[in-house]
Amino acid sequence: MAAGEIRLGKAGLNRPEARPKSRNEIRRHMADQRSDRELADLIVRGGDEEAFRALYRRHSPKVFQFVLRLLGGDVAEAEDVMQETWLRAARALGAFRWESAFSSWLSGIALNRVRELARKKRRSLVQVDGDWEMAVGPSDAGRRIDLERALALLPPGFRTVLVLHDVEGFTHREIGERLGITDGTSKSQLHGARRAVRRIMSLGAETA
């Protein structure tokens, strides 16, 4: 180091492009460093918008994928469910006792909103009435059907249990608690769902 030279170290003066441009970016950065509980406290105590946005951005991608899959890939419906989920979660944050992970709590709210939507649209999330007709349409003809597409083609009653069990890793007991059904019903739905997915995928493989 030459005489009179000042070593600035990590202070960042040498890499101005790395600096946040505004105090708001600093706030955002700070919010990202906080735990879920700290962010929730800021929201409950002060209506802190930046804290909410940080919490939203942290958890939304996972919940959105979960909801999107449960709804067979319907983006518009999934976004409506997401909105309802976050509105309810934000209002109930003060009552959340942090005995489970925030993400599990949020997913539970989302699942309830999906169930509510199904009730409104008179879809059953747990029963597949009568003989289920495979909904492989003209757009699927001649091409390989991947697992995601096969899940979307399932009737909601099959899809819900399959997603909860085989994708999200819930046990039959947990599924029963969340959907208000018995373990046995969950098992039989899963059995039917797996068979249905196999049929769809084999059909896709045959026509591809």
Partner 1 sequence: MTDEDELTPEEKMAFQRLPREADPSRILEERIVRSLRDQGVLGSTREADGAGTGLGRTRPGGQWLRPWMVGAAVAASLVLFASGIFLGQRLGSQSAAQAFLAVREQDAGQLALTIQEAGSAYVSALAALGELRAGELRDDLGAQPGPGGNPLFSASEMEQGREVALGALYGAAYELARMSPDDADVLRVLQILEDRQAREEGYGGVPRNVVWF
Query: Per-residue contact track with partner 1, 185 to 204, x per CB under 8 A?
Result: ------x--xx-xx--xx--
Which residue in the set 3, 17, 23, 99 belongs to the binding site for partner 1 (CB under 8 A)? 23
Residue from 111, 17, 96, 112 nearest 55 by CA: 96
> Binding of partner 1 at residue 207 (CB under 8 A)?
no
> Got the DSSP string for 52-118?
HHHHHHHHHHHHHHHHHHHTTT-HHHHHHHHHHHHHHHHHHGGG---SS-HHHHHHHHHHHHHHHHH
Residues constituting the chain? 208
Say how many C-beta atoms besides its own lie within 10 A of residue 122's C-beta. Answer: 6
> Binding of partner 1 at residue 2 (CB under 8 A)?
no
Which residue in the set 74, 79, 174, 177 belongs to the binding site for partner 1 (CB under 8 A)? 79
Site for partner 1 in 101-140 (CB under 8 A): none
Q: What angle, rounded to 10 degrees, do the helices at 102-120 and 36-46 form?
A: 70
Stretch that binds partner 1, among 45-53, 123-131, 132-140, 176-184 (CB under 8 A): 45-53
Which residue in the set 61, 137, 138, 142 belongs to the binding site for partner 1 (CB under 8 A)? 61
> Binding of partner 1 at residue 40 (CB under 8 A)?
no
> Binding of partner 1 at residue 68 (CB under 8 A)?
yes
> Residue 182: CB partners within 8 Å, gap ≥ 6?
176
> Binding of partner 1 at residue 95 (CB under 8 A)?
no
Stretch that binds partner 1, among 40-48, 122-130, 133-141, 170-178 (CB under 8 A): 40-48
Min dist CB 97 to partner 1, Å, is 19
Say how many C-beta atoms besides its own lie within 10 A of residue 95's C-beta. Answer: 7
> Binding of partner 1 at residue 78 (CB under 8 A)?
yes
